[in-house]
């Protein structure tokens, strides 16, 4: 399989580099000297919550750690999300915050209108507004905008404008026109329509309201442009940066008598135990194949079947929502594929080879199951079964076949509802194929093409997308946290 998204992620060097870190026990022992992980006498002690009394931590240390986490999170978001961008914060509609915001802003603009309508007009608020506009324009300039910067400073000279106001020689439309012309030079092409709209506004207060709104959007555009330009550099530096900030956070927690890796240890220990239990019946050779790498791989795969009753590992918290979204997507793809397999097996010969039907069914089922909560699935599956029967019936009539008997429709409906049960044979088979494909794509040789398993061709595009996102996340996570994973797993293996 040569999907571009997978190839881009698979070619990342960090993953292979850190697999060797996990495998190299000598290097791991050297790194342990800088790792804040205790060395207790047993796994029970190792996984237990520290019993020492809490120590006092200064407010300054706490705020420093909090700021570090925020910075680490921002760097992480930019590094792992190619579509990351800043967006304007908007209070929720009908909220108290929204009402207060609107009232205060309206009061400000009403007061400005009142002062401009006075006889003689009071331009003092307008002077303040022009000062803010000037600062916003200057903030949008790049280093090469030397001449434009000088021009803005010259035209929007606040002292000169103040003197004009005092001598009743101030023309607010001249300055607003200059501001709009300057904004037109600086804005992205996507804002050209907004600029044209500004040129049609003649009333002063509405004009300045529009100017400020557009300047805010332009500021956001500039910030996102800067992020886009810096992303390659941030991606290069984020691993070391996140590692350092996480180390700082662990130190703060340690000072307060807390183990900052408590749930990470439980997560890795649980998956080591799972591997040991599965290999116990296969002999010594299988047991010897359990390594830090295989334990971590197994732990990563657990994320695609995560039990919400468990607490997420500390090292994965920044991507918790992403992993849970991938889990839900994986379960939905499994269910869709299982329904398709059952449908084609039950209806039989009349629809064999009708690929258009598969695509239609896949699209309809995907829409019906999108965003459905686990508690609602049983009810939704009845709707899925009705939709499948409807689409199959329409297809059969188009192909010249007679309508199916109601008993056959009820039989298919019952099987579709039952396949929701994860113990259902078809569900188990499809889930195994999905997880095996994701495992091979994520952890086996990246140079070998991957074949889509039987029964999954209809969801191939979505499955490849899941694999790409999953691989990108675990590659970055492994790069940042391998130093702690290595130490924890090595300790667990010593006492297995």
DSSP 260-302: TTHHHHHHHHHHHHHHHHHHGGG-HHHHHT--HHHHHHHHHHH
pLDDT of residue 281: 65
Is the full-model pTM beyond 0.75? no
pLDDT of residue 27: 43
200-255: pLDDT as tens digits = 888 888 888 889 889 988 888 888 787 777 777 776 777 888 888 889 889 888 88
Compute the Cα dihedral for 284, 287, 288, 289 and give only its sign: positive
Closest CA to 475 of 2, 22, 19: 19
473 and 322 Cβ atoms separated by less than 8 Å: yes
482 and 20 Cβ atoms separated by less than 8 Å: no
Separation of alpha carbons 6 and 465, rounded Å: 8
Tens-level pLDDT at each residue, the chain (496 residues): 544 444 444 444 444 445 545 555 434 433 333 434 444 445 655 565 444 444 444 444 444 544 555 566 666 776 667 676 767 766 777 788 778 777 887 888 888 888 778 877 777 778 888 899 999 999 888 888 899 999 999 999 999 988 888 888 888 888 889 999 999 998 888 899 999 998 988 888 888 888 988 998 888 888 878 777 777 777 677 788 888 888 988 988 888 888 889 999 999 999 999 988 887 666 555 556 788 999 999 999 999 999 999 999 999 998 999 999 999 999 999 999 999 999 988 888 888 878 888 889 999 998 898 888 877 888 888 899 999 999 988 888 888 888 888 888 899 899 999 999 989 999 999 999 999 999 999 888 766 777 888 889 889 999 999 999 999 899 889 999 999 999 999 999 886 5
Closest CA to 246 of 29, 479, 492: 479
195 and 179 Cβ atoms separated by less than 8 Å: no
Secondary-structure percent of the chain, ordered helix, strand, coil, rounded to 5: 75, 0, 25
Q: CA dist 42 to 224, 267, 332, 492, Å?
A: 50, 17, 41, 9
Reported as half-sphere exposure (CB side, CA atoms, 13 A), residue 424 has a value of 19
Q: What is the total residue count of the chain?
A: 496
Separation of alpha carbons 94 and 72, rounded Å: 33
Exposure pattern of 402-433 as b/e (b: 16+ CB <10 Å)? eebeeeebeebbebbbebbeeebebbebbbeb
310 and 399 Cβ atoms separated by less than 8 Å: no
46-97: pLDDT as tens digits = 565 444 444 444 444 444 544 555 566 666 776 667 676 767 766 777 788 7
pLDDT of residue 46: 59
pLDDT of residue 496: 59
415 and 346 Cβ atoms separated by less than 8 Å: yes
Q: In this structure, what DSSP letter does residue 40 have?
A: -
Domain ranges of the chain: 1-49+259-496, 96-230
Phi-psi region of 283 (alpha: psi -120 to 50; beta: other; left: phi over 0): left
pLDDT of residue 31: 39
Closest CA to 207 of 180, 240, 242, 234: 180
């Amino acid at each position: 399989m040569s999907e571009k998204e997978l190839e881009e992620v698979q070619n990342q060097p960090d993953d292979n580099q850190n697999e060797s870190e996990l495998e190299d026990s000598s290097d791991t022992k050297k790194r342990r000297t800088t790792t804040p992980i205790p060395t207790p006498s047993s796994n029970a002690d190792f996984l237990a919550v520290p019993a020492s009394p809490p120590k006092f931590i200064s407010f300054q240390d706490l705020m420093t750690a909090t700021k570090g986490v925020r910075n680490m999170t921002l760097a992480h978001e930019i590094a792992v999300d190619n579509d990351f961008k800043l967006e304007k914060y908007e209070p929720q509609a009908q909220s108290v915050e929204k009402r207060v915001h609107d009232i205060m802003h309206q009061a400000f603009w009403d007061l400005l209108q009142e002062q401009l309508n006075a006889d003689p007009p009071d331009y003092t608020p307008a002077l303040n507004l022009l000062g803010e506009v000037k600062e916003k324009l200057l903030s949008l300039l790049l280093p090469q905008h030397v001449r434009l910067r000088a021009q803005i400073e010259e035209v929007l000279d606040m002292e000169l404008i103040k003197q004009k106001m005092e001598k009743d020689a101030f023309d607010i439309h001249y300055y607003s026109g200059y501001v709009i012309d300057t904004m037109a030079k600086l804005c992205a092409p996507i804002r050209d329509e907004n600029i044209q709209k500004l040129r049609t506004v003649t009333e002063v207060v509405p004009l300045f309201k529009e100017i400020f709104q557009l300047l805010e959007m332009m500021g956001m555009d500039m910030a996102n442009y800067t992020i886009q330009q810096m992303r390659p550099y941030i991606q290069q530096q984020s691993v070391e940066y996140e590692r350092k900030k996480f180390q700082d956070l662990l130190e703060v927690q340690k000072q307060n008598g807390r183990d900052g890796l408590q749930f990470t240890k439980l997560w890795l220990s649980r998956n080591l135990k799972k591997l040991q239990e599965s290999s116990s019946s296969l002999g010594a050779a299988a047991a010897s194949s359990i390594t830090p790498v295989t334990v971590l791989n197994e732990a990563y795969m657990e994320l695609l079947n995560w039990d919400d009753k468990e607490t997420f590992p500390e090292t994965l918290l920044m991507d918790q929502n992403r992993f849970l979204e991938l889990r839900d997507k994986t379960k939905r793809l499994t269910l869709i594929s299982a329904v398709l397999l059952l449908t084609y097996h039950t209806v039989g010969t009349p629809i064999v080879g009708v690929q258009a039907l598969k695509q239609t069914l896949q699209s309809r089922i995907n829409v019906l199951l999108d965003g459905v909560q686990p508690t609602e699935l049983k009810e939704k599956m009845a709707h899925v079964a009705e939709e499948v029967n409807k689409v199959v019936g329409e297809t059969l009539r188009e192909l010249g076949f007679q309508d199916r008997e109601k008993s056959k429709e009820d039989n298919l409906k019952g099987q579709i509802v039952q396949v929701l049960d994860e113990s259902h044979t078809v569900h188990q088979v499809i889930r195994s194929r999905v997880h095996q494909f994701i495992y091979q794509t994520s952890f086996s040789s990246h140079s070998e093409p991957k074949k889509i398993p039987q029964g999954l061709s209809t969801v191939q595009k979505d499955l490849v997308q899941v694999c790409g996102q999953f691989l990108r996340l675990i590659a970055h996570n492994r790069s940042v946290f391998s130093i702690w994973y290595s130490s924890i797993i090595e300790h667990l293996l010593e006492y297995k």
